[in-house]
Structure 1
Amino acid sequence: MTHQAPPSSRTPDAVARRLLTATAARSYDPGTEIDWDAPLPADTWFWPPERLTLYGTPLWERMNHRQRVELSRHEAAHLAELGHWFELAIIRMFSRYLMSQGGLDARAFYALTEMADETRHITMFGRLLNRLDRPYHGVPARVRYPFPLVDPLFQGITTFASALVIEEVLDRLQREVAQDERVQPLLRAVCRLHVSEEARHVSFARAELREAVRLASRGHLARHRVLTALVAYYTVPPLLRPDRYGDVGLPVKEARRQALHNPHHRETMRWSGEKLLAFLTEVDLIRPAQHHLWRRAGLMA
């Protein structure tokens, strides 16, 4: 596949300059934009019920409304925990990438600006977790332990591809939450702020990734196709399959089994990754040889 140079308006430098202007015009402070002291209405969803792991299962049918709402609270807390950690991981990857580049151009300045955004988002997720007031489980070992070992292998391609794996999957879900009037106002406010700024981050990562792919050798690109698929395989299932069933008083083994085989939740996982897979396929980072990993990640049928 031949990767031609992009038009001048779509070069990474041009995109970074536009995003710097947009950031200066529209950045938000979660500390002042969100009413953290507002009460949480009773019996109100913390996440859309159709996106919960047990929706439509036999266990779901046996649960009353209050139990279902409590499950949504725990699963929202799980997503906030992992979102908090993944933002930290993105800052780490961007720091290492910038140190290897030594750039003083618009692209470097926007990467630093994005890191500042992510710092505010980490604080926002932390405050959200305090309001949700549910047990802290932490990041699953399959994500936490390998990251320091494989992070140096990522370089430009997988640094930005990894950011997209998390950002685009969460973005699809959070855009829906932000518009869903059944969901707690606090959750909707957090999601609205997050997606408004993450849209810029996605644009930056896509521009950088296109450029990195265009300049990569055939062998280099082949390695990063596998690395990117492995990132999805190790991170997406723990992100989208929260194991909070014991906290809600459900039979853990049975709940895990029903969630794993739940066709509704499998469809949610594929839906959340549609835009991500379309883009990565377009830029030649997904080929049939990696399809089995993307299927095991739950993002491909």
Structure 2
Amino acid sequence: MVSDVIDRNERFQGILGRLTTMSIEDYYNPYRLFEWPERLPEEMWWMSPELTTTHGTELADTLTQEQLYALSRYESINFYSLNVHGIRELLIEVVNRIHTAGFETPSQFFHHFIGEENEHMWFFAEFCLRYGGKIYRQPTGAEAVAPSSKVESLLVFARIMIFEELVDHYNSTMAADERLNETIRAINRIHHQDESRHIAFGRELVQLLYEEVKRTATAEELAEISTYLRRYMTHSFESLYHPQVYRDAGLERPHQVRRSLLESPARAKAEERTFRKTTRFLKKTGIIR
């Protein structure tokens, strides 16, 4: 039973206690925290250029500075849109497990997690609607088929962890980037502050769930988990490459642009850099091969 594994683990319970205390002490009211200027300057970076999907590619060399700024503007709206969609999905999964059999111990922290993620979803959506006039829909794509249902909770929390670590890589970079407007830096800074707790929790829980799964899983089932999570990381990263972004930025043949960028060596390097810490953790625990 998952609950037995969690309840017996003193380390996990100690971490839960500390993270819950931090959530209480660090609590803020996002509806009063942020100042929303009427508009943001367009002739500047809205996303750190090193994080944009064209960085390091041949295409970037053909674009004017004005086009690069426009691309960063729409890519930032897409990034926050992905946060809105991703948070909505993870909230559904966590709400479905709070105060249920097997998750009694972390349920107290789940309350803080749910509250914080709901507020994150609000300020990311607020940014998109104020400064982009829309929330981008997620592009369609072939998602990896999940292995058997007996590992469902492991995969759910592994996906949440992967999503949060992807987002946090971008948040921490943009929060420290003085080339960006202070409003942009602020929402990334506050999200990074909260996500550091969520990631710490997620890693501990994922490791415990994997140890439980490993007790009865076959070698083939463990290999399927590894393959599934690797595909999920790639699928998540490729969501940053949105054809509508390229169309809105004024680039011709946006679907062709997306294909060429996905095939670029720069994309593989960027994905590896983004998931460097995540991959190291998943390999160390044996979850991916």
Shorter-chain TM band = 0.7 to 0.9
Secondary structure of the structure 1 residue equivalent to 2:98: helix
**8 A Cα contact 1:74 1:134, kept in partner:** no
Q: 1:193 aligns with which of 142, 167, 190?
A: 190
- Deviation string for 1:154-179 (max 9, x for gaps)? 53311211011111111112101100
**2:273 corresponds to:** 271
The structure-2 alpha-carbon separation of the partners of 1:49 and 1:211, relative to structure 1 and needing over 3 Å to count, comes to: same
**What CA distance in whole angstroms lies between the structure 1 residues aligned with 2:228 and 2:259?**
29
Q: Give the partner amino acid of 1:156.
A: S
Q: Which residue does 2:141 correspond to in 1?
A: 142
Higher RCO, 1 vs 2 (CA within 8 Å, ≥6 residues apart): 1
Q: Which residue of 2 aligns with 1:52?
A: 52
Is the CA contact (8 Å cut-off) linking 1:157 and 1:209 kept in structure 2? yes
Contact 1:157–1:224 (CA<8 Å) still a contact in 2?
no
Note the 1:1-301 alignment, pairs <5 A: 11-37=11-37, 39-98=39-98, 100-101=100-101, 103-105=103-105, 107-142=106-141, 155-216=152-213, 217=215, 218-219=217-218, 221-238=222-239, 240-243=240-243, 244-251=245-252, 252-287=254-289
Query: What RMSD in Å do the two structures reach over aligned CA positions?
Result: 2.7
Secondary structure, counterpart of 2:35 in structure 1: coil
Q: Distance in 2 between matches of 1:55 and 1:153?
A: 41
Q: Which deviates more from structure 2 when the two are superposed, residues 212-221 or residues 278-287?
A: 212-221
Q: CA deviation at 1:113?
A: 1.2
Give the unaligned 5+ runs of structure 2: none
Distance 1:286 1:124 in 2: 34
SS of equivalent to 2:188: helix
Question: Cα distance, 1:245 vs. partner?
Answer: 1.1
Q: Could you report, residue by residue, the CA deviation over 1:189-222 in whole angstroms, capped at 9, with x for unpaired residues?
A: 1100001000000011111111112222233644
TM, length-normalised to structure 1: 0.82
Distance in 2 (alpha carbons) for counterparts of 1:115 and 1:151: 27
TM-score when normalising by structure 2: 0.86
Tell me, in whole angstroms, the C-alpha distance in 2 between the residues paired with 1:12 and 1:284. Answer: 19
In 2, Cα distance between equivalents of 1:150 and 1:282: 21
TM-aligned CA deviation for residue 23 of structure 1: 0.6
Q: How many residues align?
A: 278
**Aligned-pair identity (%):** 22
Tell me the secondary structure at the aligned position of residue 142 of structure 1: coil
